[in-house]
Structure 1
Amino acid sequence: MLHTVAIRGYRSMREVVIPLTGLTVVTGANGTGKSSVYRALKLLADCGRGEVIGSLAREGGLESVLWAGPENPTGARRTGEVQGTTRMRPVALELGFSSDDLGYLIDLGLPQYAGPKSLFARDPEIKREIVFAGPRLRPSAALVRRGGDYAEVADDAGHGFTELTRAMATYRSVLAEYALPELASVRDRLRDWRFYDGFRVDADAPARRPRIGTRTPVLSDDGGDLAAAVQTILELGNGDLQRAVADAFDGAEVSVAVHDGLFELQLRQPGMLRPLRAAELSDGTLRFLLWGAALLSPRPPSLMVLNEPETSLHPDLVAPLASMIRAAAAATQVVVVTHSQMLRGHLDVDDASEIELYKEWGETRVADQTMLSTPPWEWGKR
C-alpha cells in the first residue's frame, strides 16, 4: 500500500504531500487542484512505462505545467501582493511516492542542450531518479540513484555504490533501462496502477461494440473490453457484480453473448422479452456497468484512481456505486477524486480518509494539514 504521494512544482501544486489509506477521497471546490492530483499520479505511472516525457509533451510541455507562482509565497500571504522572489532551487517538476517497502522520486527539469539543430530542444530532461527503501528518502536508504546521465546502485554489502552507466539518455527513465530487482519492483507496481476518468458512452463508444474477448481480469482505461471483463468476473464466481446490477436496476441481470467469436454485453430486465444489447443501453446504465466491471475485478490492480465516478449517473445510482467502491477498497487501494457531497456521504466508512483541497494565492493546499500532520518526506537535491 502507498502511504504518501508527493508533488512539487506541478500546475497549482507548489508543494503538496498527501497521505493515503486503503480508501482515500480527494475533495474540494472546482479549480482547487483535484484533477491535478489525478494527472500527477498518472505521470508517476507513466514513469514505469517509460512514457513520462511524451505525457508531459501532450500537456503542452514542461513549461506549461510548472508552478507559475513565486517559489516562496510567504510574502504574498503577509502583504497581500504577489511578487517574484529570488530563486533558491532549480526549475523542476518533482514527483514521488513511498510505501512500507520501496519509494521512488523523479525530478524533471528544463533541457540544457538537445543537440545541434535538434527539434526536441523543449523536451524535459530527467535530472534525478531515486529508488529507496522504506517510507522516507534518506541517504542510507537509497538503493538506486541517478543524476543526469550517471546512475549507480547500492552494493549488497552496504559499503557504497557501484556504477551502472555514465551514458544514460536524459529522456529515458532508469526504471525502463535496467532489470535490477529494485527497479523491476517499482516499475511493475507503477505499470499495474489503473486510472478511470469516466467512460465514453456515446453511440460509437468502444464498450458498445462487439469485440473479440479473452480473459480480462482488469478493465482497460477506455472500457472497450467490457464484455470480456464481465464474463471473467462471472466465471470466477464473484456474485458482487450481479447483486450490484440487480440492486441498481430492479432485479436486472447482466450476461455476455458470443457471436462468431465476438463478445457482446447484454442486460436482461424483468418484464422484457429479450435482453438489451450494449448498443441499446442508456448512457447512465452503460456507465454504471463499466464502473462495476472496473471496481469488482477478480484480480484488482494494486491501485485504482477514479476521477469523478459519479458524473452523469442518476442520484439513485450513487449509493450502489459507493457500495462497489467500498467493495473494491477491501481488496486493493483506491483513490477517489470527487466533489459530490452525496458520494462522499455514502463513502463515509471507518477505514476511509478524506483529503480536502483548497486554494490560497493560487496555490493548492491540504485543509487542516500542519507541519506535524504532514507525512514525512524528503526531496533531496540535484
Structure 2
Amino acid sequence: MPLSAVAIRNYRSVRNLWLPVEQLSVFVGANGVGKTNLYKALALLRRAADGTITRAIAEEGGLDSVLWAGPRSDRKPMRLVLKARFDELEYAVEMGLPHSYEIEIGLPQPAEAAFPLEPLVKAERLVARDGRREIVMMERKGPLVTLRNDDGKRESHQAAVLSSETALASFRDGARYPELEAVRREMLEWRLYHDFRTDAGSPIRRPCHAITTPTLSPDGHDLAAVLATLSVIREDTAELDAAIDDAFPGGRLEAGDEGSWCRVSLTFPDMPRSFAVHELSDGTLKYLCLLGALMGYRLPPLIALNEPETSLHPSLLAPLARRLASAAGHTRIWIVTHSEDLAGHLQQETGKRARRVVKPAGATGIEGLKLSGEYADEDE
C-alpha cells in the first residue's frame, strides 16, 4: 500500500501543495525556501497515526508557529490540513481501492473545553475511491466520529476521542475496521531520519542490546543491532560489504554479538587495528547510520531523509547515491537536500532529476508542479 501523494495546506511556508510521491522523490533548493517544511509535514502525518500530532505541533512552538506564515483571511479560522493518498489497499477482506486519509488541526472555539492556544483535531476523513465513487470509511467532525464497519454498516461514536487525540489512532479494532487499521499501521511503519547524533555522548557510540533488529530506529541508537542482524541472523553481508568497500576502499566492517550486547567496528587498510564506533569520525559514523537505514533486514514502506549529506565528505556522496538508488528499488525514498552534487549523482544513477523547491511570492512551491499534482515534464 505505497504512499502515492501528500497534500499540505497552511503549514509554515506551504500555502497549498499536492505532491506526488515517486519511487525516489528528491527535493533540492537553497536555504529558506521551505524544503525542511516538506519533510516536517510528512513527519506530522506519521504522528497522526500514533495519536500524538497535537503534541508534536505544541513541541514545534504551537499552532501559531506552525500555521501558514503569509497573509491570512479573517473571514474564517485558519486550519492546518494534511492528507496522504495511498495506492491500492490490500487487507483481509481483499478490497483493493485507492485510499486517502486527511486531518485538519485548528485552535479552540470559545465553547470548547481546551486550553486557549491548544492545537485540536477538528476533522478527519478516511476515504476509499471506487472509480468516481467515494466510500467514506471514517469521518470525524469535532467530537462525532462515524465509522463504516466490516459489515458495511455505519456506526456513530459521540465523544469517543478527545480533541487532542486522533480517531485514526483511537479505533484499533482491526477486525471491525480493517481499512482504518491498515492505513494506521502503514503510516506507523514509515521511518523519518532527521539527523543522527554523533557527539561523544550519542547512544549510537555505545553498544546496544543483542536483539534481532530489522529496521533502524529514527535516532539510530540500535545501529549495532541492525548491522549485527545482517551478519548473525541473516548470515549474508555481501551487499553491506560491497557498500563499505565502495565508500571506504579496502575497509572492512565487523558487526556481531558479545554476550548480551552487539558491537560494530571498522577496519581501514592503512591502519593496523579496527576502530569501534566510539572512535569513528562524525562523518564515518553518520554514513554507517545511513547504510543501516537503507540496508536493514527489512525496509519500511517509506524512508524520508532530511539533508543526509550533512557531515559527509564529498567523496561519500557518489557511494551514498548508489545506496539510495538501490534502496529505491525496494521501498519509496523521500529526500530533501541542499546538495546539488548529491542530486546530480542520484540523477546519474537513476535517470531521475531532483525537483527544485522555490519560494515565489513567499510561498513554498516546486518548479514544474501543476495544481493537479503532476509535473509538467511528465507530460512532455
1:317 Cα deviation after fit: 0.6
What is the correspondence of 1:281-360 to structure 2 with a 5 Å cutoff? 281-348=280-347, 349-350=349-350, 352=352, 354-360=354-360
CA contact (8 A) 1:21 1:352 kept: no
Classify the secondary structure of the residue corresponding to 2:290: helix
Gaps of 5+ in 2: 89-98, 376-380
For residue 31 of structure 1, what is the amino acid of its counterpart? Answer: G
Q: Kindly state the Cα deviation for residue 115 of structure 1 after the two structures are TM-superposed.
A: 6.7
Which letter does structure 2 place at the counterpart of 1:127? K
- Percentage of matched positions with identical amino acids: 39
Change (3 A) 1:167 1:209: closer
Partners in 2 of 1:108 and 1:42 — Cα distance? 15
CA offsets 1:225-274 (integer angstroms, 9 cap, x no match): 11101011224224221111112112111112544422221112224333
Give me the whole-angstrom Cα distance separating, in 2, the residues matched to 1:134 and 1:332.
Answer: 24
Distance 1:231 1:167, change over 3 A: closer
Helix, strand or coil at the partner of 1:244: helix
1:135 and 1:209 mapped to 2: Cα distance?
Answer: 51
SS of 1:256's partner is: strand
For 1:78, the equivalent position in structure 2 comes to none
Alpha-carbon distance between aligned partners in 2 of 1:28 and 1:271, rounded to the nearest angstrom: 38
1:153 aligned residue: 147
Contact 1:4/1:20 (8 A) holds in 2: yes
Q: Give 1:110 deviation, angstroms.
A: 0.7
Instruction: State the match for 2:164 in structure 1.
Output: 171
- Rounded Cα–Cα distance in structure 2 between residues aligned with 1:260 and 1:342: 43
Spell out, residue by residue over 1:179-207, the C-alpha distance to the aligned partner (whole angstroms, 9 max, x if none).
22111111101110101122111111111
Larger RCO: Structure 1 or Structure 2 (Cα < 8 Å, ≥ 6 residues apart)?
1
Structure-to-structure mapping, 1:191-270, within 5 angstroms = 191-235=188-232, 236=234, 237-270=236-269
Task: Give me the whole-angstrom Cα distance separating, in 2, the residues matched to 1:166 and 1:262.
Answer: 47
Query: Are the counterparts in 2 of residues 103 and 135 from structure 1 also a CA contact under 8 Å?
Result: no
Secondary structure of 1:140's aligned partner = strand
Q: Indicate the residue corresponding to 1:77 in structure 2.
A: none
User: Which amino acid letter does the alignment assign opposite residue 30 of structure 1?
Assistant: N
CA 1:372–1:226: 2 relative to 1, 3 Å? closer
Given that residues 247 and 320 in structure 1 are in contact (C-alpha distance below 8 angstroms), is that contact kept between their aligned partners in structure 2? yes
Q: Which residue of 1 aligns with 2:40?
A: 39
How many residue pairs get aligned? The number is 357
SS in 2 for 1:250: coil
| Partner SS, residue 254 of structure 2 | strand
Alignment correspondent of 1:379: none
Aligned residue for 1:126? 121
The farther-off stretch of 41-50 and 263-272 is: 263-272
Distance in 1 between the 2:334 and 2:24 partners?
Answer: 6
Amino acid at match of 1:22: Q
CA contact (8 A) 2:346 2:353 kept: no
Measured after TM superposition, the shift of residue 211 of structure 1 is: 2.0
Q: Which runs of 5+ in 1 are unaligned?
A: 72-84, 376-382
Question: Cα distance 1:350–1:267, how it changes in 2: closer, same or farther (>3 A)?
Answer: closer
The answer as to whether partners of 2:18 and 2:373 remain within 8 angstroms in 1 is no
1:82 maps to: none
* Post-superposition offset of 1:106: 0.1
Report the Cα offset of residue 154 of structure 1. Answer: 3.0
- Greater CA drift, 314-323 or 89-98: 89-98
For 1:13 and 1:139, the matched residues in 2 are separated by 30
Q: Quote the residue 1:66 is aligned against.
A: 67
> Structure 1: which amino acid aligns with 2:355?
I
| Paired letter, 2:162 | A
Secondary structure at 2:230's aligned position in 1? helix
Kindly indicate whether the alpha-carbon contact (under 8 Å) linking 1:213 and 1:225 is maintained by their aligned counterparts in 2.
no
1:360 deviation in Å? 1.7
Q: Residues 34 and 337 of structure 1 are in contact (CA less than 8 Å); yes or no, is this contact kept in structure 2? A: yes
Give the partner amino acid of 1:252. G
Q: Deviations along 1:69-103, whole A, 9 cap, x unmatched? A: 224xxxxxxxxxxxxx553x531000011022321
Contact kept, 8 Å, 2:240 with 2:295, in 1: the verdict is yes
Letter in structure 2 aligned against 1:142: V
User: Residues 343-376 of structure 1, C-alpha deviation per residue, up to 9 Å, x if partnerless?
Assistant: 011111557463221112211112122345548x
Contact 2:49 2:168 in 1 (8 A): yes
CA distance in 1, matches of 2:220, 2:372: 42
3-state secondary structure, aligned to 2:109: coil
Aligned residues: CA RMSD: 2.2
Q: Distance in 2 between matches of 1:191 and 1:289?
A: 24
Give the drift of 1:114: 7.8
Q: In the alignment, what sits opposite 1:90? A: 77
TM-superposed deviation, 1:41: 0.4
Q: Determine if contact 1:22/1:351 at 8 Å carries over to the other structure.
A: no
Give the counterpart letter for 2:14 in structure 1: M
